[in-house]
Structure formats: structure tokens, C-alpha cells
Structure 1
Amino acid sequence: MKITFIGGGNMAGAILAGLARQGGHVLQVVELHEDKREQLARDYGVAAFGAAPAFAADEVVVLAVKPQQLKAVCEGIAGQLGGALVLSIAAGVRVDALSRWLNGHARIVRIMPNTPAMVGRGVSGVYAPAGLAEADAQTAATVMQAVGDVVSLQAETGIDDVTAVSGSGPAYVFYFIEAMIAGAVKQGFDAATARALVLGTFDGAVELARQSPLDVATLRQNVTSKGGTTERAIARFDEEGVKAAIAAGMDDCRARSIELGQLLSQD
């Protein structure tokens, strides 16, 4: 498969790395900055250009620029697509807007990745509009499987839902990790030991949740002995409304995704 990335930022680099490991692809990048082009070519063995080439119908074009740059980029390559499949990993911008900016081009798939793609452990939501060939939807999934798991979305609004869960989710996890490391330092551990304790705990807990047949609520209850230390901590979390705050934050994230989508998709 011949895949060209328009934009060579961090997420593009992560997907390129995954595709390079996956093998069997011809990879190209269009990147304005020469030093970045040289780095991408060196790191991933890709062909790097300062301007977009002409594409063919059997190629894949990945739009990996900032949402604010997307309209200009689309208008700039609209006459060169040659029927290629277009994948957009830019947040917010709707399929109908992309199609308008690409002179009515219809082979478009929207993708919401997340930053653990950088270590091959991403989760991506993929939305393929009704009427798009199943082979195109599968191609999009194949590209993103190079950097982790893929969830197929039945409606474009699912992109906003995924943004609130996995798209922004790593930041929620890092926020909790920050708080636990700070708490460990407060208890008297040095920063390095606090980090090791907390990251090891997250790694182990996630792996246990992955491998166990029990749901996470039961796993939590199994650690929470009646009248014990963990119960005291959980009681304070409940008293402070931690669960409700997390749910409310996710709702706010989704609402902002919808707002930005409406704003960024305007002509």
C-alpha cells in the first residue's frame, strides 16, 4: 500500500513508525520544514517532500496537519487526489467540510487516535461514512492497527464520544498519576521512587484488569477490605466526588469536541 502523510508531526511520526514495523508499505511524507523532512526520512526510511505529489486511486492520503490548517491544505491538494482514499486524523473537522474543501471528494474516513500510539499502544476510533466501500473502511483500520487497537464507529458523532474517552483519556490517566506521585512524595518518598511505585502500580493494575475475567468494580472491591486502609481512601474519594467529577469532565470534553467541530468545519 502506498501511503502519503500530509504533515509530519508527532502523531504522523507515530503512525509512520508503526507502519514501518508492519512492513509492506511505500511511505511518503509531505512536510514544509526541511529539518523535519530530513529527520522523518532518517528515522523511518520514508520519502519526504516539500510539496504534495499527484496521487492515484489506489493510494492512501493521511491528513495529519493541525485542524486550523486543514482547509488550506485540502484546497491545495484537491486537484491532485486522483480518487485516492483520504484519512483525516485532524480533530473536529467533519466529513462534509472535508468533502467541500476537496471539491466533492467522497472517499474520506475520519479517525480519532490517541497519544499512546507513540509506543504502539494506541486506541483509535474510525468512522467510515455510509456508502463508503467496505474495502476502504478496512484499509483505514489496517493503517491504524499499526499503532494499536481500532474501534469502528457507526455515526460521526461517535468521534466526539471517542474524544471524551480515549482521545483525551491519556491526559486523565496522567492527571491521576501526577496526583499519586505528588501524594507519594508527600509521604516521604523521593521523586524517582514515587514515580516507580506509581507507574508500576498502574502497569500492574491495568494488566490484571486485562487478564482477569472479573469486571473492574469487582477487582476494586477485592482490594477494599471492610474497615481497612483501602476502604478509607475510597471513602474519601467518594466524599470528594471523584467519580462524579471524572464523568462531568468527560461530558465537558465531549461538548467541547462538538463545539470545535462546528467551528472548524465552517467554510
Structure 2
Amino acid sequence: MKLVVIGGGNMGLTYAKGIHQAGLLTEKISILETGDVFTQLVKTEPDFDVYDNAEDCIKNADILLIAVKPFHAKNVFESIKNHTSKHQVVISVMAGVKISTIESGIGLEKIVRSMPNLPAMIGKGMTAFTASKNLSIEEEKIVVKILESTGEVIQVKTEDDIDKSTGLSGSGTAYILYFMEGLINAAKEFGFSEEEAKKIVSQTFDGAVELYRRNDLSTSEWIEKVCSKGGTTIEAINSFESNNVKDSIKKGAFAAYKRALELGNS
């Protein structure tokens, strides 16, 4: 089975490396890129066949994984559509780009739309995907294995669910880091060094997430366990509540979802 990754940026290279390291494919993975990125990949990525011309690699592919920015989609479609074959499966990791847009753009019918997130770069990603009806069961199984090479995967029913997952996991890494940044800033104001602040905050997040995963208690139940009446934690929680922090987080997720819809309609 031959895979061509279209786009050799962060996400494209992440999938290429994840799939390669997992040993999922017997044939060498190809990457299609242009300009300075192409030149750099040729020098630094010997595990892959790197091309700057669609004609040289697209026609031989079984799977096309498109990993470019949404605003580059139209140009990518134009560059590859004359070299595609009806049997090919397309996996898109482009935010907001609809299956129908991809179908009309390149004339193929076996389309998978997915939404990964940045921790895919270290094998800790969360990817939601949905597929057109034209994929066989066997092809869907291969798609799942490819997406699982970078972390956890969930199959959703509709493209609207993909846009919703964009507002949760797709963009969610930044929300977590935003909260961490606030705590790191507080730690430094307390007098801790940058290194100490980073260690305190990152370990606190790691521990909280692992605690939540290993038990059946809800987040609210854990918060209640940590908060003692008249104690320090409840003071912080009360401050967050008075500043509508939880509601602001929810509004942020919905804002990202709305933007994903806008991208899909542009």
C-alpha cells in the first residue's frame, strides 16, 4: 500500500513519522512539498521519498493524506486532480474543509475528514474522523490504523461533529496551555524560577489528568475532594467562579466551533 502525504509541515510530517515508526506500510512513504520546505525535507528526512511535482507521485498512491492549511486547499486540488485515480482514499486533516469540497475539488469519492490536534506530534494526539459512504469496511480499518499512529481516535457520525471536535480537542491544546501559562506566571510572581514554575505546573497538570483517568469520579467530585471548607483551594475556585472562568472556557470552545463552520462555508 502506497501513501502520499501532501504537505510536509508539522502535521504532515507528524503523520508520516508516526505511520513509519508504527511499521504500518511496507512501501516507503512519499511526501509532496514545494519551495524551501521541499529542499529542507530532502536534506533532513531520508526515511521518505520527497517530491515537489504531483505528477511524479500522486498517480501511484493508494492513500492521499492532505495536511495543508485550509486556505491552500484549492491550489492543492488544482495541482493533483489530473493525476488521481478513482480507487484512491483521501484523508484530510484540513480544518473546516468539507467532504463535498474535497470531492468536487479532486473528483474522488472515498473521502475521510479528520481533526487531529498538536499532541499528535508526540503520539498523544486526539483525532476525530468521519468518512464518506464510499469507503469499504477494510479501507476504514486502514484509515483508523493510520490515524491511531499519532494517538487516540474516535469516529463520529457527521461533519458537524468534526467541527465540534475542532472546538474541543482540535483547538483544546491551546486552552490547556493558556491555563498553564496563567499558573506559570503566578509561580514566577511568587518568586519561583522559570524552570521551577514549569516543573510545578506541568507535573500538577500531569497528576490531575492521570488521577481523573484512573478513577470513576467526575471532575466536580474531585474538585469537591480537594476543596476544604475555609481552605485555600476553595478560595481559588470561588475566584474563578466570580470571574466566570468556566463559562468563558465554554464560550471559547463554541467560538472555535463557529470559526470551523465559517471556514467550511468560505
Query: RMSD across aligned C-alpha pairs, in angstroms?
Result: 1.6
**Are the equivalent residues in 1 in contact too, given 2:6–2:68 (CA < 8 A)?**
yes
Q: 1:226, CA displacement in angstroms? A: 1.6
After superposition, where does 1:1-267 map in structure 2 within 5 Å?
1-25=1-25, 26-33=28-35, 36-39=38-41, 42-43=44-45, 45-52=47-54, 53-56=57-60, 59-83=62-86, 84-103=88-107, 105-263=108-266
- Rate the CA distance shift 1:174–1:98 in 2: closer, same or farther, 3 A: same
- Rate the CA distance shift 1:37–1:219 in 2: closer, same or farther, 3 A: farther
Alpha-carbon distance in structure 2 between the residues aligned to 1:128 and 1:35? 30
Unaligned runs of 5+ in 1: none
Unaligned runs of 5+ in 2: none
**Are the equivalent residues in 2 in contact too, given 1:126–1:140 (CA < 8 A)?**
no
Alpha-carbon distance in structure 1 between the residues aligned to 2:157 and 2:227? 38
**Are the equivalent residues in 1 in contact too, given 2:163–2:261 (CA < 8 A)?**
yes
Alpha-carbon distance in structure 2 between the residues aligned to 1:40 and 1:112? 27
Q: How many residues align?
A: 261
**Are the equivalent residues in 1 in contact too, given 2:41–2:50 (CA < 8 A)?**
no
- Rate the CA distance shift 1:19–1:166 in 2: closer, same or farther, 3 A: same
**Are the equivalent residues in 2 in contact too, given 1:71–1:98 (CA < 8 A)?**
no
Alpha-carbon distance in structure 2 between the residues aligned to 1:44 and 1:161? 37
Opposite residue 100 of structure 1, the aligned amino acid is S
Q: 1:59, CA displacement in angstroms? A: 1.0
**Are the equivalent residues in 2 in contact too, given 1:122–1:147 (CA < 8 A)?**
yes
Q: Sequence identity, in percent?
A: 33
Q: 1:92, CA displacement in angstroms? A: 1.1
Alpha-carbon distance in structure 1 between the residues aligned to 2:11 and 2:209? 24
Q: 1:38, CA displacement in angstroms? A: 4.5
Alpha-carbon distance in structure 1 between the residues aligned to 2:171 and 2:195? 26
| Deviation digits for residues 72-98 of structure 1 (CA, Å, limit 9, x no counterpart) | 211221121122111111111111111
Opposite residue 137 of structure 1, the aligned amino acid is E
Alpha-carbon distance in structure 2 between the residues aligned to 1:177 and 1:34? 34
| Deviation digits for residues 116-137 of structure 1 (CA, Å, limit 9, x no counterpart) | 0011100001111234322222
SS in structure 1 at match of 2:34? coil
